């Protein structure tokens, strides 16, 4: 049976980057290990980081919108031989489509679209770990491009003020404010 879940956090572990998917209200999470690029994409989506050009997941959602197809939810549907499987559940007119996807892609799309995430209870039973046993630090700020951009802008602002270039300082201040408003 499927249960609603959330992305509890994204963390770095000894085995690599993991998305921790937690059934709502549960004290366990399922670590799904993903690559660096997939991690970055999920963090960008979670942080609502504006990008100058659409990334692949943004493109996919734009395509769905143009085709008038609705993304209803994603499902982390099974675990076989250490590999997680997921599906995108789409609706169009009165039809429902289930499209196979890598969990990392499904989650990258879900965080942008703000659609529900579901996970199969049997997957939680097999791969779930207690939240109390998780001590890894989240890597959101480390990988989040907005965090790096903010740090760089703060340095530039400090330099502009020191040089008494107040027009540049005002521009940088406005950019920092825009970043905060979008987070």
What is the residue extent of each domain of the chain? 2-139, 146-182
95-145 pLDDT, tens digit each = 999 999 999 999 999 999 999 999 999 999 999 999 888 765 555 444 455
**Which 8-state DSSP code applies to residue 27?**
S
- Biggest distance spanned by C-alpha atoms of the chain: 63
**Which 8-state DSSP code applies to residue 138?**
B
158-179 pLDDT, tens digit each = 887 788 787 887 888 888 777 7
CA–CA distance, 136 with 12 (Å, rounded to integer): 7
Q: Where are the beta strands (DSSP E) in the chain?
A: 2-13, 16-23, 28-34, 70-80, 83-92, 95-101, 117-120, 129-130
Does 3.40.470.10 match the CATH number of domain 2-139? no
Entry pTM: 0.72
């Amino acid at each position: 049976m499927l249960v609603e879940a959330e992305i509890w956090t994204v963390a770095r572990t000894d085995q690599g980057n993991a998305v921790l998917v937690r059934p709502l209200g549960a004290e366990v999470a399922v670590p799904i290990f993903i690559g660096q690029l997939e991690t970055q994409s999920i963090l960008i989506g979670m942080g609502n980081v504006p990008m100058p050009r659409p990334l692949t997941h943004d493109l996919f959602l734009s395509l769905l919108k143009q085709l008038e197809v609705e993304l209803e939810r994603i499902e982390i549907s099974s675990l076989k031989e250490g590999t997680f499987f997921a599906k995108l559940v789409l609706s169009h007119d009165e039809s429902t489509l289930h499209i196979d996807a890598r969990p990392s892609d499904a989650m990258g799309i879900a965080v942008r679209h703000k659609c529900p995430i579901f996970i199969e209870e049997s997957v939680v039973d097999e791969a779930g770990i207690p939240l109390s046993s998780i001590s890894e630090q989240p890597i959101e700020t480390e990988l989040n491009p907005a965090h790096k951009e903010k740090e760089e802008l703060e340095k530039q602002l400090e330099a502009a003020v020191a040089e008494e270039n107040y027009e540049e300082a005002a521009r940088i201040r406005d950019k920092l404010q825009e970043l905060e408003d979008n987070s």
